[in-house]
Amino acid sequence: MSAVAERPAVLPIGPGGPSSTLAGVTRSEFTKLRSVRSTKWTIFVLVAATIGFGVLFCFLTNHYWPKASASDKADFDATSTSFGGLMFGQLAIAVLGVLVISSEYSTGGIRTSLTAVPNRMRFLAAKVISFSGVAGVAGLIIAFAAFFAGQPFFAKRGIGASLSDDGVLRAVFGAALYVVVSGLFGLAVGLLLRHSAGAITVVVAFMFVLPLVVNAFPGDWGKAVIRYFTSNAGQQVTFVHQSGNHLGPWLGFGVYCIWAAVPLVIGALLLHRRDA
Amino acid sequence: MIEVRNLTKRYGSTVAVDDLSFDVQPGIVTGFLGPNGAGKSTTMRMILGLDRPTAGSALVFGRPYASAVAPLREVGALIDAKDVHGGRSARNHLLALAQSNGLPASRVGEVLDMVGLGAVAKRRIKTFSLGMSQRLGIAAAMLGDPRVLLFDEPVNGLDPEGILWVRNFMKALAKDGRTVLVSSHLMSEMANTADHLVVIGRGKLIADLATDEFIARSSSNAVRVKSPQQQQLLDALSAVHAEVAPLDGHLEVRGLTCAEVGDLAAANRITIHELFEDRASLEEAFMELTRDSVEYHAPAALNQEGAGR
């Protein structure tokens, strides 16, 4: 029972000793992210399903091309057809974003985390950075894989896109960025609500349900709401052919960033003020 | 060391911690005692910066814990062993904590071996028993080899072997010169472990004294003695105006020490079979001390009140 006698040599104190830095906390948050099963599963499903649906969209679009109307053909965007699975992907990454924060609260781990890192803004920044990194890598894999897997279906007809075409490379990188910001939107809502089920409900409402509702708004006022509403605005950066009704690619993406930033800033203020 | 000054925490109209001030000294184990709901955990959370005080302050080495360069180097804490993500392995849980404070990854294996969890390092925490979780919590507290340790009810759910281990572990940490604050709602547990006691009730300080002093005060007036010449002994004790009453085949004596009772019996040539301080009275003394500050009494007390009306 002399466990303490076997205690290893003491750690150095003072200059040169260990310290809690943003880089260290980010590494710590990455370890947390990769060491739970839900992350691996969510990322796997996210990547596989988004690419899979994109391929399916390309195959079907090509298959029914002879029957497509002239206006459909005029609006056809080969690049964004590859990204047809992003609807699903944005939900998966947003749910993962919610869980990154809400699981801390549901397990009580937040108290252990904030005891180790009492600087809460450093804690949050590290979470945002590590999660963005993971989402960014997943987003890049999705964007490039979906693009290159989808375009060959259009090759025979000569309607496919190439990375060297105007706006295509921007749309492919845009798809990766869209994945990252969708995830951060989830993280921000999770931070604000601290509750998995509630936060996921809000995310689904804002990404899927409300955009459908506002799409039905009549009049000019309705059009403005449609243009600026979450994913409606954010998706523009993944399109090569913009439709007149919508914001430009970067302006739309910027608006989407604001949708994520507002709950993130409010959540950060609450994290700073509330008891853990 | 820890300095708590006029610490107050209010939740709406409820006062969880009420103008609490005390110091925790290095080199000894300080027991933090109080009935359930007395505000022990809230106080510990405020020391760690998890909860924000309504008023007052809690300083570790003269400054707020949150301002430490490497917090885990300063304070190791076990607040609730279940405050972990169960899906993670013990090793990854500790690795993440170590990385957050720039501690070498080699510490993870060291502390796991220290608490005897080396063999289950790769198992997910949700498969751990409560005792194993407590050990993991202690391992996490020891990661940074800190000078201050806070343990909130560390022996909860432990088997006797585990309780003994924790007890010796805490004593050894204090002997090392560290500052050790351990909370408990059991006086008997603290009498075995703590050198000093801080007793609170309803968030207020009730007592701040050495354990020896507390024991001297509370059990010196209750001594149990057994003798085949019980009546003679009773007469002798009554003659010196001791408060004495028969109890379970013994005599319960108040106002005299064991030594005084023994001397008295010898002087009167009375045979004694048993003579001891009534340790149970320690728990009673503690309950007496905190009676007015227990948050929820058992229904029996309510029934008595009702019957009295």
ipTM entry: 0.90
Is the predicted pLDDT of residue B63 greater than 80, yes or no? yes
Please report the residues numbered 46 through 105 in chain A whose beta carbons come closer than 8 angstroms to any beta carbon of chain B: 103-104
Instruction: Tell if the CB–CB gap between B100 and A17 is shorter than 8 Å.
Output: no
Please report the residues numbered 121 through 140 in chain A whose beta carbons come closer than 8 angstroms to any beta carbon of chain B: 126
Instruction: Tell if the CB–CB gap between B107 and A11 is shorter than 8 Å.
Output: yes
Which pLDDT does position B289 carry in this prediction?
A: 74
Q: Look at A95-99, B108-112, B213-217, B253-257 and tell me which has the smallest mean pLDDT.
A: B213-217
Instruction: Tell if the CB–CB gap between A27 and B99 is shorter than 8 Å.
Output: yes
Which pLDDT does position A17 carry in this prediction?
A: 79
Exposure b/e, B240-249, CB count within 10 A at least 16 = b = eebebeeeee
Which pLDDT does position B301 carry in this prediction?
A: 43
CB contacts, 8 Å: A117 with chain B: 71, 100-101
Shortest Cα distance from B162 to chain A (angstroms)? 10
The share of chain A scoring above pLDDT 70, in percent, equals: 94
Whether residue A109 lies within 8 A of chain B, CB to CB, comes out as yes
- What CA–CA distance (Å, rounded) separates A113 from A116? 5
Nearest by CB: B50 against A6, A13, A275 = A275
Is the predicted pLDDT of residue B303 greater than 50, yes or no? no
CB contacts, 8 Å: B133 with chain A: none
Residues A142, A51 contacting (CB under 8 angstroms): yes
Q: Compute the average pLDDT of residues B120-126.
A: 96
- Cα Rg of chain A, angstroms: 22
Around Cβ B85, how many Cβ atoms within 10 Å?
24
Is the predicted pLDDT of residue B146 greater than 50, yes or no? yes
Nearest by CB: A118 against B71, B165, B173 = B71
Beta sheet of B179-184, edge-to-edge order: B75-78, B148-152, B179-184, B29-33, B196-201, B204-210
List Cβ neighbours of A172 (8 Å cut-off, separation of 6 or more). Answer: A79, A143, A144, A147, A163
Which pLDDT does position A227 carry in this prediction?
A: 87
pLDDT in tens, B199-209: 999 899 999 99
Give one DSSP letter per residue of chain B, joined into a string.
Answer: -EEEEEEEEEETTEEEEEEEEEEE-TTSEEEEE--TTSSHHHHHHHHTTSS--SEEEEEETTB-GGG-SSHHHHEEEES-TT-S-TTSBHHHHHHHHHHHTT--THHHHHHHHHTT-GGGTTSBGGGS-HHHHHHHHHHHHHTT--SEEEEESTTTT--HHHHHHHHHHHHHHHHTT-EEEEEES-HHHHHHH-SEEEEEETTEEEEEEEHHHHHHHHHTT-EEEE-TTHHHHHHHHHHTT-EEEEETTEEEEESS-HHHHHHHHHHTT---SEEEE-THHHHHHHHHHHGGG-SS--HHHHHHHHHH-
The share of chain B scoring above pLDDT 90, in percent, equals: 67
The share of chain A scoring above pLDDT 90, in percent, equals: 74
pLDDT in tens, B195-244: 999 999 989 999 999 988 887 776 556 788 999 999 999 999 999 888 88
- Tell me the average pLDDT of chain A: 91
Q: Look at B8-22, B45-59, B238-252 and tell me which has the smallest mean pLDDT.
A: B238-252
pLDDT in tens, A191-242: 999 999 999 999 999 998 888 888 788 878 788 888 899 888 999 999 998 8
Which pLDDT does position B156 carry in this prediction?
A: 82
Instruction: Tell if the CB–CB gap between B82 and A108 is shorter than 8 Å.
Output: yes
Instruction: Tell if the CB–CB gap between A8 and B110 is shorter than 8 Å.
Output: yes
Whether residue A117 lies within 8 A of chain B, CB to CB, comes out as yes
Q: Which amino acid is at B138?
A: I
Select from B48, B83, B143, B168 the residue whose CB has the most chain A CBs within 10 Å, as the one to mutate to test that interface: B83
Around Cβ A56, how many Cβ atoms within 10 Å?
13
Whether residue A112 lies within 8 A of chain B, CB to CB, comes out as yes
Chains A and B form CB pairs within 8 A to the count of 149
Whether residue A27 lies within 8 A of chain B, CB to CB, comes out as yes
Shortest Cα distance from A117 to chain B (angstroms)? 7
pLDDT in tens, A66-111: 999 998 898 899 999 999 999 899 999 999 999 999 999 999 999 9
Whether residue A115 lies within 8 A of chain B, CB to CB, comes out as yes
Is the predicted pLDDT of residue A1 greater than 60, yes or no? no
Instruction: Tell if the CB–CB gap between A115 and B165 is shorter than 8 Å.
Output: no
CB contacts, 8 Å: B70 with chain A: 17-20
Nearest by CB: A107 against B77, B86, B95 = B86
Shortest Cα distance from B168 to chain A (angstroms)? 8
Shortest Cα distance from A95 to chain B (angstroms)? 17
List Cβ neighbours of B183 (8 Å cut-off, separation of 6 or more). Answer: B31, B32, B33, B34, B40, B41, B44, B151, B152, B153
Nearest by CB: B173 against A4, A110, A118 = A4
Q: Which amino acid is at B292?
A: D
Residue of A nearest to B125 (CA): A36
List Cβ neighbours of A161 (8 Å cut-off, separation of 6 or more). Answer: A78, A79, A147, A151, A154, A168, A240
Which pLDDT does position B188 carry in this prediction?
A: 81
Nearest by CB: A4 against B72, B103, B172 = B172
- What CA–CA distance (Å, rounded) separates A104 from A108? 6
Q: Compute the average pLDDT of residues B70-93.
A: 94
Is the predicted pLDDT of residue B297 greater than 80, yes or no? no
Instruction: Tell if the CB–CB gap between B99 and A25 is shorter than 8 Å.
Output: yes
Category of B37 on φ-ψ map: left (φ > 0), alpha (ψ -120 to 50) or beta: left
Q: Residues A240, A55, A213, CA angle at the centre, nearest 5°?
A: 60
Is the predicted pLDDT of residue B298 greater than 90, yes or no? no
Instruction: Tell if the CB–CB gap between B145 and A11 is shorter than 8 Å.
Output: yes
Whether residue A162 lies within 8 A of chain B, CB to CB, comes out as no
Nearest by CB: B100 against A4, A13, A28 = A28
Closest alpha carbon to A189 in A171, A207, A176, A172? A207
Q: Look at A255-259, B114-118, B304-308 and tell me which has the smallest mean pLDDT.
A: B304-308
Provide the pLDDT confidence category of residue A251 given band limits of 50, 70 and 90: very high
Which pLDDT does position B279 carry in this prediction?
A: 66
Instruction: Tell if the CB–CB gap between B145 and A10 is shorter than 8 Å.
Output: yes
Closest alpha carbon to B222 in B264, B273, B261? B261
Q: Compute the average pLDDT of residues A27-55.
A: 94
